[in-house]
Structure 1
Amino acid sequence: MSTSPPQTARKPARGDLLELELAEIDERGRTLGRFEEFTVAVRGGVLGAHVRARVHKRRRNGIEAGLEEVLRASPFASAARCPHVASCGGCSFQELEYRAQLAAKARLLARILAPLAPERIEPVLGCATPWNYRNKMDFTFGNARWIEPGEPENAPNGFALGLHARGHFQKVLDVRVCEIAFAEAAPILASVRAFARELGLSAWDVRARAGLLRHLVLRKSWHSGAILADLVTTEVAPERIAPLAEAVLARHPELTTLVQHVNPGVALVANGALARVFRGTGVIEERLDGL
């Protein structure tokens, strides 16, 4: 008497619509669900929601899909505080209650670390407040501005200063406010963007590998309240950078120090050789755990 081999489910094809429950997160900030025997990673989904998602990619170890429709809202859903949540690549879970974020991260760590030392996995420690807690932000200049939903068709799409658009690394989103950055960051960011445009300074072009302005790094000391701004450029160009620095400093007396670093290479890193200190000592001091 012969028996037939067990039937395996057909792996969904690109373009297929799947219905699934989003039950976990992964280390790349995606929500995970199961469709038959396959793990499906969904961008844009809220943990706990029942959704319809369209397959974008089939991979050896799973499926990647994009959110098409929420069939049943998550019991952990929370209104996003950030106006850029649909476009920004910075935060992944603003639409998920913070307590649910911590619980999901704890489960993720358990899955990753349990094979090594399950008895040593300690509870996830949350922030006292999940807003305005970052004391350092790296903002990017770019010449390909991301157009957000609701903007007019003729909106300018060139010079930009902000954060990379979600899923489009070559595009830069003009961030008006960042809810996780220290409060003083947004007005300084807006001033640098406005003055740089007014002065006609060029932003870094990823494809052409050219452009003067590359990064704006803002850092605040929680200990002293001092604020540092760092302009990262491709060259020193004092006749072009000095007017920008002077305008920003005149508008923002709260800036303790403003420096310029030069990075002529192609790597998208916010550092380089120190070129000039426009105000202050060029450094700020921080105290960590009493040290």
Structure 2
Amino acid sequence: MSGLRKGEILEFEIADIAFGARGVARTENFVWFIDRALPGQRVKARVCRIRKQYGEAVLQEVVREAPDRVAPPCPHFGTCGGCQMQHWAYPSQVAAKTRQVEDILRRIGGFPGVDVRPTLPASEILGYRNKMEFTFSDRRWIPEGEDPEKPADFALGLHVPGRFDKVLDLDACLLQSDRANQIFRHVRELTFRSGLPPYGQKSHDGFWRFLILREGRQTGDLMVNLITSGGFGDAGLEAVNRVAEALRAAFPEITTLVHGITDSKGQVARGESGRILWGSGNIREILYGMEFEVSSDAFFQTNTLQAEVLFDAIAGLSGFQGDEVLYDLYCGTGAIGIALAGRVRRVLGVEAIPSAVANARENAALNRLDNVDFVLADMKDALRDSDFVSTCGRPDVVIIDPPRGGTHPKTIQDLLALGAPRLIYVSCNPPLLARDCQALGERYRLDVVQPVDMFPHTKHIEAVARFTLR
């Protein structure tokens, strides 16, 4: 858009909210994206980026308020990177996610008339997460007007958007339970007084790195997973032992405490080695009537109650009659396949991570399922094995639930060659779902898409798509 410069203040009428939770405005056939702006607002915003077809601006002032704007319950909203839509009435959030999926399928996938059903809302919109990861940092984000006496070189919380090195020090996160928040505050106090420093994302020095809290929402089990560097030797081990003993005394309901150790420079909350200080190193959770053992590093649905809504949607779109062979691809710890095992003749799960396959097999045995098998294989190679289908049986239904990065192109081609009568694609990344819909259209018809709101107040959308072989 000619004649504009960065830093200019413009006035915008917000028409909608785009995928990613940015307000959308249009001026002279030019699209603007404005963080935290809501449909119905009129705002003043500072131009920060101009591209050929769109621009970005930073909200400065709300001139006219939206009718469905609400007071965000979290005092950190707008600074913390965890939530993007706490200031918007929940029904409006849910309706917007439906529109976003429709828009993405139309623009990226080329599917203007696909049946996108209304997004399934969550029954709990706060305190719903059964797992939270927090980061320690030696570079605390300092909000404007804060008490200058508070130390700037210690933080435990969540990253500020756009800053890998700055962490907002929290008192609580409203997405986890009150009990988890009490433990969080106690860990922060104990580690702050431990005498060992937090890890620096720039310096790569320090000891305390991550805190992961996991809960069994249906069982009451609770795991504390402290991840540190290994650079402090016996002094570090003794510091973790003291923290663990104090936690156990204060919160005897903690089921297990795990100490992970990593010296990787990457910001991934996973220990390269570790030890179990007490308990089994696992917690139990009940999902869809099945019991699951969940280890410290295992992927498991992070919203237990809404996962059952998701699984209901998958089962409903699959149209099981009871005699199907079901392939569960990218199966992780086997939750989907195990949950649906009672509706089909046989389930075969495929996963590339050895620990996840081990968890899946243990969970199948725990639930006494004799019609479920799990195979360790890389998805881009598994279906190309000439013996795979002949050994496992040709599927009637394939469920594919890839990670956020999407499905490997080889896997898409293999699914086309396999030609299962029905394909259910579960996606946490609608733009990549739209891309894969195009490729699958060579042999499949996209029938329906069911969005599910797994993470209220955030930009994230889960979508379940059903394809039928032409």
Structure 1 length-normalised TM: 0.92
Deviation at 1:118, TM superposition (A): 3.9
Question: Residues of 2 paired with 1:38 and 1:253: CA distance?
Answer: 58
Partner of 1:13: 5
Q: Which one of 135, 147, 151 corresponds to residue 142 of structure 2?
A: 147
% identical aligned pairs: 37
Higher relative CO (CA 8 A, sep ≥ 6), structure 1 or 2? 2
Quick check: 43-52 or 87-96, which moved more?
Answer: 43-52
2: distance between equivalents of 1:192 and 1:35? 50
Quote the residue 1:286 is aligned against: 285
Q: Is the 8 A contact 2:180 2:213 kept in 1?
A: yes
Asked if 1:201 is matched to 2:201, the reply is: no
Q: Which shifted more, 52-61 or 114-123?
A: 114-123
Contact 2:164 2:201 in 1 (8 A): no
User: Is 1:58 paired with 2:50?
Assistant: yes
Q: CA distance change for structure 1 residues 35 and 200 in 2, over 3 Å: closer, same or farther?
A: farther
2:240 partner SS: helix
Secondary structure in 1 matching 2:253? coil
Residue identity matched to 1:290: G
Is residue 182 of structure 1 aligned with residue 181 of structure 2?
A: no
Q: Which range moved further: 180-189 or 93-102?
A: 180-189
Matched, 1:73 2:65: yes
Q: Kindly indicate which of the two structures has a greater share of residues assigned to helix.
A: 2
Deviation at 1:188, TM superposition (A): 0.8
The equivalent residue for 1:36 is: 28
1:276 corresponds in structure 2 to 275
Segments of 4+ moved more than 3 angstroms? none
Q: Over aligned residues, Cα RMSD in angstroms?
A: 1.7
Preserved CA contact (<8 Å) 2:95 2:118 = no
Residue identity opposite 2:160 in structure 1: A
Q: Which has the higher mean CA deviation after the structures are superposed, 281-290 or 164-173?
A: 164-173
Contact 1:163/1:174, CA 8 A, preserved across alignment: yes
Inter-partner Cα distance in structure 1 for 2:217 and 2:145? 37
**Counterpart selection for 2:217 from 214, 222, 226:** 222
Number of positions where the alignment pairs a residue of Structure 1 with one of Structure 2 = 283
Name the CA distance, whole Å, in 1 between partners of 2:16 and 2:248.
Answer: 46
Separation in 1, partners of 2:6, 2:210: 38
For structure 1, the residue ranges without an aligned partner over 5 or more in a row are: 1-8
Q: CA deviation at 1:141?
A: 0.5
Letter in 1 for 2:187: V
Note the C-alpha offset of 1:11.
5.5
- 1:153 Cα deviation (Å)? 3.3
Whichever residue aligns with residue 14 of structure 2, its letter is: L
Amino acid at match of 1:187: Q
Matched, 1:104 2:96: yes
Deviations 1:230-269 (A, max 9, x none): 0111117312221122122221112111101112111101
In terms of mean alpha carbon deviation, does 251-260 or 117-126 score higher? 117-126
Residue of structure 2 equivalent to 1:166? 161
In structure 2, C-alpha distance between the alignment counterparts of 1:60 and 1:116, rounded to whole Å: 25
The alpha carbon displacement at 1:273 in A equals 3.1
Spell out, residue by residue over 1:35-66, the C-alpha distance to the aligned partner (whole angstroms, 9 max, x if none).
Answer: 22211111232332110111011234411111
CA change 1:135–1:118 in 2 (3 A) is: farther
> Which residue does the alignment assign to 1:83?
75
Amino acid at match of 2:90: Y
CA contact (8 A) 1:47 1:74 kept: yes
Query: Kindly tell me: are residues 201 and 60 of structure 1, through their superposed partners in 2, closer, same or farther at Cα, counting changes over 3 Å?
Result: farther
Q: Secondary structure at the match of 2:246?
A: helix
- Structure 2: give runs of 5+ residues left out of the alignment: 291-470
